[in-house]
C-alpha cells in the first residue's frame, strides 16, 4: 500500500490521523492509524469496544512496551491506556 496516497483524516487527538478501511453498520471498524512523530494520546478508554493494533511501520508505545513493525496488541473494552510515538507510526487498528 502506498501510504503517500492515503486520504488521512484528523482525529480529536492532535498528531493522530486515520483512514477508514472498513465500517460496519454496527460498531465494528478497521482503520489505518498514523501517529506523527512526537504524538501523545493521553489517558483514555474505549468503553464499548476492544482495540486491536498491528504495527506496519515505525514504533508505537504504551505503558506496557514498545511495538515495532509486525507487533500486535489487544486491549479489552474499557481498559484505560495512553499511547505515543517518538518516531512516528502507521498501524492497522480494529475496533469491535
Q: What is the mean pLDDT of residues 7-18?
A: 94
Per-residue model confidence (pLDDT) at position 27: 75
pLDDT reading at 12 higher than 80: yes
The 51-58 sheet, strands edge to edge: 9-10, 16-23, 29-35, 89-95, 51-58, 72-75
Average pLDDT of every residue of the chain:
94
Per-residue model confidence (pLDDT) at position 21: 92
Q: Is 4 helix (H, G, I), strand (E, B) or coil?
A: helix
Concatenating the DSSP letter of every residue in 13-72 gives STTEEEEEEEE-SSS-EEEEEEEPTTEEEEEE--TT--EEEEEEEE-EEESS-EE-TT-E
Per the structure block, which three cell numbers stand in for 1?
500500500
Q: What is the pLDDT of residues 55-83, one digit of tens each?
A: 999 999 999 999 999 999 999 999 999 99
Dist. CA 67–CA 56, nearest whole Å: 10
- Would you place residue 4 in the very low, low, confident or very high pLDDT band (cuts 50, 70, 90)? confident
- Would you place residue 5 in the very low, low, confident or very high pLDDT band (cuts 50, 70, 90)? confident
Per-residue model confidence (pLDDT) at position 82: 96
Domains of the chain in sequence order: 3-95 (2.60.120.10)
Amino acid at each position: 500500500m502506498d501510504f503517500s496516497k492515503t486520504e488521512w483524516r484528523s482525529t480529536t487527538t492532535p498528531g493522530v490521523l486515520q483512514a477508514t478501511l472498513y465500517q460496519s453498520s454496527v460498531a465494528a471498524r478497521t482503520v489505518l492509524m498514523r501517529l506523527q512523530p512526537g504524538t501523545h494520546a493521553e489517558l483514555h478508554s474505549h468503553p464499548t469496544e476492544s482495540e486491536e493494533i498491528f504495527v506496519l511501520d515505525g514504533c508505537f508505545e504504551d505503558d506496557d512496551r514498545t511495538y515495532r513493525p509486525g507487533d500486535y496488541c489487544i486491549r479489552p473494552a474499557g481498559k484505560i491506556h495512553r499511547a505515543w510515538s517518538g518516531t512516528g507510526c502507521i498501524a492497522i487498528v480494529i475496533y469491535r
